[in-house]
Amino acid sequence: MTDGAFSADGMFLLTVTCMALVTYALRAGGYWAMGRLPITPRVRRGLEALPGAIIVSTVLPIVLKGGITVGLCLVVAAAAQVFLRKEYVTVFCAAAAAAAMRQAAGLS
């Protein structure tokens, strides 16, 4: 451990640089493609549905793997967000629900 705190080898720097370039290319390419695509009502509906589809495709495998406890925490989080509309409070409610369910199951 004689290397400095901020030292990095060449492969690491190359990897990070390539990842940054690919990320930029994908984002810029998306703007470029959308600039040439006519926004019809059908395309607009598809674009409006995209965020929800991404959330579902991200969260659903976690819920299916986590079981009923994770599902109930998700329901608590969704209800808290709908009624309170405060993200930090929503996270706290979901964490409190998870802690309560672990306590009830005796997993403390």
83-93 pLDDT, tens digit per residue, is 999 999 999 99
Is residue 2's pLDDT more than 60?
Answer: no
pTM: 0.52
Contact yes or no for 80/93 (Cβ under 8 A): yes
pLDDT at 86: 92
Task: Determine the Cα–Cα distance for residues 62 and 25; give it in Å rounded to an integer.
Answer: 30
Mean pLDDT of the chain: 88
Over residues 23-57, the pLDDT tens digits come to: 999 999 999 998 898 999 998 999 899 988 998 89
pLDDT at 66: 85
pLDDT at 5: 58
Phi/psi of residue 59, nearest 5 degrees = -85, -35
